[in-house]
Amino acid sequence: MSRQGSALSEQDPNVIRRGVSKLRPPSKLPQPGLKRMLLSDNQAENGAPVAKKTRLDMTKPAPAKRPTVPATRKLGPSATSRPGITKPVTRPTVARPGPATMRPRVGAHTKAAPAKPAAKARHAAAPVTSRPGARASKPTAPPPSKPAGGGKSKRQPWDLKGRLADMEAAMENRTMSNQNLEGRIGENNERIDFLESLNQQLQGTVQIKETLSNQAEETIRSLERKLRNAEDEHSIVERRLNQQKDDLEMTMRSLKRQIETVEGDLTASRQECSGLKSSIASMTAAQAGHIAQLDATKHQLEQSVESCRQKGSRISDLEAEVAALKATVEEKEGRIREDETMRRKLHNTIQELKGNIRVFCRVRPLLGSEQIGGDDIPHISFPDVDGKTLVLDKLSDVSLNESTMSTRNGRNGTSHYEFNFDQVFEPDSNQAEVFQEISQLVQSTLDGYNVCIFAYGQTGSGKTYTMEGPEEVNEENIGMISRAVQQVFTSARSLEANGWKYTFQASFLEIYNETIRDLLGAPHSKVKHEVRMVEAKSNEVEVTNINIVDVQSENEVNKLLSKASQNRAVAATNCNERSSRSHSVFRLKLTAINTLTGENCQGTLNLVDLAGSERLSSSGSTGDRLKETQNINKSLSNLGKVILALANKDSHIPYRNSKLTHLLQNSLGGNSKTLMFVNISPREESFQETLCSLRFATKVNECNIGTAQKKVK
């Protein structure tokens, strides 16, 4: 018994019938008995007597024991198009004709490919036709075994061999029937494959014909367009020739009239004709030459007109092309500006989500007296093209041991310190470039956020220049305070179209020797000012007895800044001839209400210029300058303690240790967007102070003060 036959014998007879009925019309031949009852597997294996059941029909053979046959592999859905049908692993390969010789196969005229070994085993068990078109002949089942008496009788319960023989006979009949069905299924599958291949080829032929037809139609349309163009050109040439013909005919008529006049004159004056013949001949020749020249001039004129028309058309095309290119360039430039604006917004958004204090590092350029052989700064480099990294290099004679930055000692004894910040400005950066990076942060003030920007660094590193600008201010070198105020008022005016109305209040103070002084008040006022908490939960603070001025424009604010600059405490030291001896704080508070939606918000812009840190040994301070230096260093030291406590997430933050930290409490640990400028000097003599400033800035950059919340009433 073949493996294919055993596989089909294990299928449900109903499933086999349904699979065959879907593949071919129902056969008129009698089907073999598929519903014979079989003994259960347990009873057949044990060989025990079967309990007495209802008497079976004596005309049907007794159920036979299911023989044990090798298991066959059933093909998945990809191998056959009919579920539930077990096909042989291999089947005859059907030769398919090409497109030119494709013919449907008919019955016995089509010769099947030689069967593979699995198919040979099946044929050996049950002979079937070798042609795909031929029907499989119905096998002749062996007659059922009869009892010795000559008539059919029920087997005795103890006659196990007889019952087993009956089962084997029934199993053989069923196997032969399955083989016949299997052969028919193979034939039908071959027919289906052939028809599917033929259908695909016909579809490809139809697509090719459609493509050729479309190409022919396109060719016809192209030829028709060319014909119309040729006809138009022919009409133009024909009209031109007709015009020339009319001109020539008119000329000929004119000449005829002249000849008639001349002949009349000749008739009237024959006596003069002989003397004038030579003159007439010369005049006739000249006239012919003039006519030829006139024709040539007309032809040249027509060519010139046509050339001018073509050049005018070409000029129009070029002008349109230039206009399109200009529009494209403007569009690309606008897109570049939009992309840059979006990049800055996304960068600020990321920084806000981080909740850290942003830190910008700015290196001032060398002054005229500091340049020795050029403006290069050998111990400071900027390896990052994105402007995020600054590297310091110093000989190993300087002891640096507590650096949290990456430090590498080179073979030549140099120390290498690398610092990373949100932005690093090189010495050639101007004020406009620096403000461009903080403009989005300033804009947040109009949206109802508290914003704080302060400058930190040693004396003479350019803090006051960054925040306020130089003494001789112009449009290019004005400081961050003036630029921020200008942007706030400009944006507020543009938002009026959306229904927003803003009111502004400005104040300017300084902390000198741990004493708060109002820079907008009387120069020698004795009024005391204290820092007081407004709300403990929000960390908001205010200064008592301070002058708060209502302002309506940036010009009014600039006047206040000029007055405050004159009242601020400055003095000359060995490190800086115009050293700021106090911490200055400019505050612009704004309140906004939308008349259309009823929404209102409140924001505050704090711009702080810290006094410069300096070493007593290098500053040469004595007397009042010594006291000022000590108070400055003490307040900056307390600022460092607050930053360290914030970085370590301590439960207690020592804000009240100094007036500066108490005033900046809301900016450092409250609801505020905070940015710090760390200004460093390019002088190699200031390397130690520069390194300390950069370390402090790194600590500040690591402080997480939380995400600022919009203040809406």
In the 8-state DSSP scheme, what is residue 51? P
Write out pLDDT tens, residues 163-221: 899 899 999 999 999 999 999 999 999 999 999 999 999 999 999 999 999 999 999 99
Say how many Å lie between the first and final Cα of the chain, rounded: 93
More confident residue, 439 or 105: 439
Q: How confident is the model at residue 153 (pLDDT cuts 50, 70, 90)?
A: low
Task: Give the model's pLDDT for residue 84.
Answer: 41
Nearest to residue 660, comparing CAs of 613, 603, 710? 613
Q: Within a 10 A sphere around the Cβ of 519, how many other Cβ atoms?
A: 24
Query: Is pLDDT of 607 > 60?
Result: yes
Q: Which residues are annotated as a binding site for ATP?
A: 457-464
Cα of 251 vs its chain's centroid, Å: 77
Domain boundaries, the chain: 3-212, 269-354, 431-701
Higher pLDDT, 135 or 695: 695
Output the pLDDT for position 68. Answer: 45
Give the pLDDT confidence score for residue 324 in this predicted structure.
93
User: With 80 as the cut, is the pLDDT of residue 311 above it?
Assistant: yes
Task: State the binding site.
Answer: 457-464
Q: Given a cut of 60, is residue 55 above it in pLDDT?
A: no
Is pLDDT of 603 > 50? yes
DSSP 99: S
pLDDT of residue 157: 81
Phi, psi of 606, deg, nearest 5: -110, 120
**pLDDT confidence of 33, banded at 50, 70, 90?**
very low
Strands 414-420 and 389-395, bridge-based pairing: antiparallel
pLDDT in tens, 345-373: 786 677 677 666 899 999 998 887 777 76
Q: Give CA–CA dist 170/34, Å, rounded.
A: 10
- 514 falls in which pLDDT band (50, 70, 90)? confident
The answer on pLDDT for 573 being more than 60 is: no
Beta bridge partners of 672: none
- Return the higher-pLDDT residue of 352 and 241: 241
pLDDT value of position 664: 86
Q: Please answer whether residues 610 and 657 qualify as being in contact, where contact means their C-beta atoms are separated by less than 8 angstroms.
A: no
Residues 431-701, CATH architecture: 3-Layer(aba) Sandwich (3.40)
Residue 459 has what pLDDT?
A: 86
